[in-house]
């Protein structure tokens, strides 16, 4: 057995040993992607190929911490049922021995090509290589080695290639750090995917590192999505350890000329990072992100006693709306609705139990305050005078309440929540604001209580 097979075998053994434990955890999700065991972080290689959606992910099989990452792989025909596929990449080569880090997929003729970052540490010093792996069947990937080294002027924090094709050219954006320790995104192009031409910086200038860039057209605009590190909290903004967001602008194709507006956060919850998008065959730009954050909370996650940690978000369709990006849960998710449990007018106060795996929608009928208490754990408030939506939950490390706040442009039209045992995704006003959060309520508390007026609908999703 070669080194690659050996490392994959070890990971399969680990799955065999611990998958049962993870799946029996009452906090293990029912319809979100989570690791079979170990730690999941960024979504990678997100693509629809030959009628099937393929999603890869950063995966540490052996512990609930970070380290030499593998690429796990799942596939789906409908964006709700996900099938486990063979492990795509293991950190088995000299150029990726300390991790097959994040990257993307592109379909070329009859092949699926993965571009990813090989992470190498020698005597504590980091080296980064952009690498290629190719598959003809979408299940078994052959590594083809290093495609790009780090150019002069940049540190080894140079990673997460996103590759796409446009007008006879291939392009690649990478997250990078200059030797002055400023975060940025750099651009390459290629005519044949063999020779890559370095163009320089597409954008940069704040934070010390930009991770996981994605660059695409949405409506009439070009959008740069990325996850900057090193931005200071500022009022209600940038409250997480690291951020994820976008800048909207116009790109002169084939150049680094990208005139853009300010940086906006994509999500206002606690657990959202490293999003990646793909354009599916229906022409939808669909985003999936890591529902997690590399931070001090990780040691306190209650799931680590069952040897797993983190999950991914739901797939969300991106829509441009007056120079902001709205995120809408993809419409396929409606097929998850098994039984409608509630359809009622809420008058000032409503309390009832909702399942741990459910969806509810509140449509307010006046412009008054709204207060929602979920499982005695999380609260959601809307204040019409400030137009603020506020989400609170207990901090995992100290149990003190922590909060996230965002502001709607106008009125509150709808609050739609997806619950999946230990996760809550809140879509306000059809995707204008989204809050993504892990929640770990007491298992016996299923009560939803609403103070306000409007209509409430609840569905069980299993
Ligand atoms: C983002 C990230 C990427 C890197 C990967 C490693 O969460 O730090 O920049 O490729 O995770 O797992």
Place of tokens 């709204």: 370
Same domain, 131 and 239: yes
Task: Please give the number of the atom of ligand 1 that sits closest to the Cα of 227.
Answer: 1
Closest Cα to residue 106, out of 45, 174, 173?
Answer: 45
Same domain, 143 and 282: yes
Range of the domain at 202: 3-329
Task: Please give the number of the atom of ligand 1 that sits closest to the Cα of 58.
Answer: 12
Same domain, 395 and 311: no
Same domain, 183 and 308: yes
Closest Cα to residue 161, out of 74, 221, 101, 94?
Answer: 101
Same domain, 371 and 244: no
- In the 8-state DSSP scheme, what is residue 20? H
Task: Please give the number of the atom of ligand 1 that sits closest to the Cα of 117.
Answer: 10
Report, as an integer, the average pLDDT of 98-112.
97
The pLDDT tens digits for 274-324 are: 999 999 999 999 999 999 998 888 999 999 999 999 999 999 999 999 999
- The DSSP line for 319-340 is EEETTEEEEEE-GGGGGG--EE
Q: What is the 274 CA–ligand 1 centroid distance (Å)?
A: 8
Q: Is 96 in the pocket of ligand 1 (CB under 6 A)?
A: no
Closest C-alpha to ligand 1, atom 6: 101
C-alpha 299/C-alpha 277 separation (Å) is 29
Same domain, 62 and 165: yes
The pLDDT tens digits for 58-101 are: 999 999 999 999 999 999 999 999 999 999 999 999 999 999 99
- Is this complex scored with an ipTM above 0.90? yes
Could you tell me the pTM of the whole model? 0.98
Overall number of domains in the chain: 2
Q: Max alpha carbon distance in the chain (Å)?
A: 67
Same domain, 296 and 381: no
- The DSSP line for 248-309 is EEEE-TTSS-EEE---EES--SSS-EEEEEEE-TTS-EEEEEEE--SSTTGGG-GGGGGTEE
Same domain, 255 and 367: no
Query: Would you state the pLDDT for residue 459?
Result: 98
Same domain, 304 and 394: no
Same domain, 348 and 417: yes
CATH number at residue 121: 2.115.10.20
Task: Please give the number of the atom of ligand 1 that sits closest to the Cα of 290.
Answer: 7
Q: What is the 244 CA–ligand 1 centroid distance (Å)?
A: 13
Same domain, 79 and 226: yes
* Residue 152: both structure tokens together: 């002069």
Report the residue among 38, 44, 56, 58 best suited for mutation to probe ligand 1: largest number of ligand atoms under 8 A from its CB: 58
Q: Is 358 in the pocket of ligand 1 (CB under 6 A)?
A: no
Report the residue among 177, 274, 275 best suited for mutation to probe ligand 1: largest number of ligand atoms under 8 A from its CB: 274
> Is 196:190 a contact under the CB 8 Å cutoff?
yes
Query: Would you state the pLDDT for residue 352?
Result: 97
Q: What is the 42 CA–ligand 1 centroid distance (Å)?
A: 7
**pLDDT value at 462 more than 90:** no
* Residue 270: both structure tokens together: 């606690």
Place of tokens 């097929």: 335
Q: Which of 308, 329, 350 is the last residue of a domain?
A: 329
> Is 430:413 a contact under the CB 8 Å cutoff?
yes
Has 222 been annotated as catalytic? no
With cut-offs at 50, 70 and 90, classify the pLDDT of residue 366.
Answer: confident
Same domain, 115 and 166: yes
| 369 CB-contact burial (10 Å; exposed 0-12 / middle 13-18 / buried 19+) | middle
Q: Which of 309, 329, 349 is the last residue of a domain?
A: 329
């Amino acid at each position: 057995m070669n080194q690659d097979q050996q490392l994959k075998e070890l990971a399969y053994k680990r799955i065999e040993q611990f998958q049962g434990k993870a799946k029996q955890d009452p906090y293990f999700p029912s319809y979100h992607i989570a690791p079979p065991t170990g730690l999941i972080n960024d979504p990678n290689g997100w693509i629809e190929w030959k009628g099937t959606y393929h999603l890869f992910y950063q995966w540490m099989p052996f512990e609930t911490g970070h380290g030499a990452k593998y690429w796990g792989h799942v596939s789906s025909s409908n964006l709700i049922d996900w099938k486990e596929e063979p492990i795509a990449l293991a950190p088995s080569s000299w150029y990726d021995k300390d991790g097959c880090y994040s990257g993307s997929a592109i379909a070329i003729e009859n092949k699926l090509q993965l571009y990813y970052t090989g992470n190498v540490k020698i005597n504590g010093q980091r080296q980064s290589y952009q690498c290629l792996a190719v598959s003809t069947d979408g299940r078994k990937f052959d590594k083809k080695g290093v495609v790009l080294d780090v150019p002069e002027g940049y540190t080894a924090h140079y990673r997460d290639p996103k590759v796409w094709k446009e007008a006879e050219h291939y392009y690649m954006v990478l997250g990078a750090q200059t030797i002055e320790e400023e975060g940025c995104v750099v651009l390459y192009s290629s005519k044949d995917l063999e020779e890559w031409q370095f163009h320089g910086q597409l954008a940069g200038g704040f934070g010390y590192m930009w991770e996981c860039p994605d660059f695409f057209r949405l409506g009439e605009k070009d959008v740069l999505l990325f996850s900057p590190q090193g931005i200071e909290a500022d009022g209600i903004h940038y409250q997480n350890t690291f951020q994820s967001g976008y800048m909207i602008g116009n790109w002169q194709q084939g150049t680094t000329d990208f005139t853009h507006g300010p940086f906006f956060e994509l999500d206002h919850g606690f657990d959202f990072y490293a999003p990646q998008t793909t354009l599916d065959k229906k022409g939808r730009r669909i985003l999936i992100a890591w529902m997690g954050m590399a931070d001090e909370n990780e040691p306190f996650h209650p799931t680590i006693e069952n040897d797993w940690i983190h999950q991914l978000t739901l797939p969300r369709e991106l829509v441009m709306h007056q120079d902001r990006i709205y995120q809408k849960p993809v419409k396929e998710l409606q097929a998850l609705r098994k039984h409608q449990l509630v359809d009622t007018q809420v008058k000032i106060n409503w309390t009832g139990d909702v399942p741990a795996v459910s969806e509810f929608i509140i449509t307010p009928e006046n412009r008054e305050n709204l207060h929602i208490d979920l499982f005695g754990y999380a609260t959601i408030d809307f204040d019409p005078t400030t137009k603020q939506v506020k989400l609170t939950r207990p901090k995992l490390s100290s149990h003190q309440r922590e909060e996230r706040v965002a502001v709607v442009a106008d009125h509150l039209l709808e609050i739609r929540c997806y619950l999946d045992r230990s996760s809550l995704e809140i879509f306000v006003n059809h995707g204008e604001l989204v809050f993504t959060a892990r929640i770990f309520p007491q298992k016996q508390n299923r009560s939803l209580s609403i103070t306000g007026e409007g209509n409430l609908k609840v569905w069980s999703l299993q």
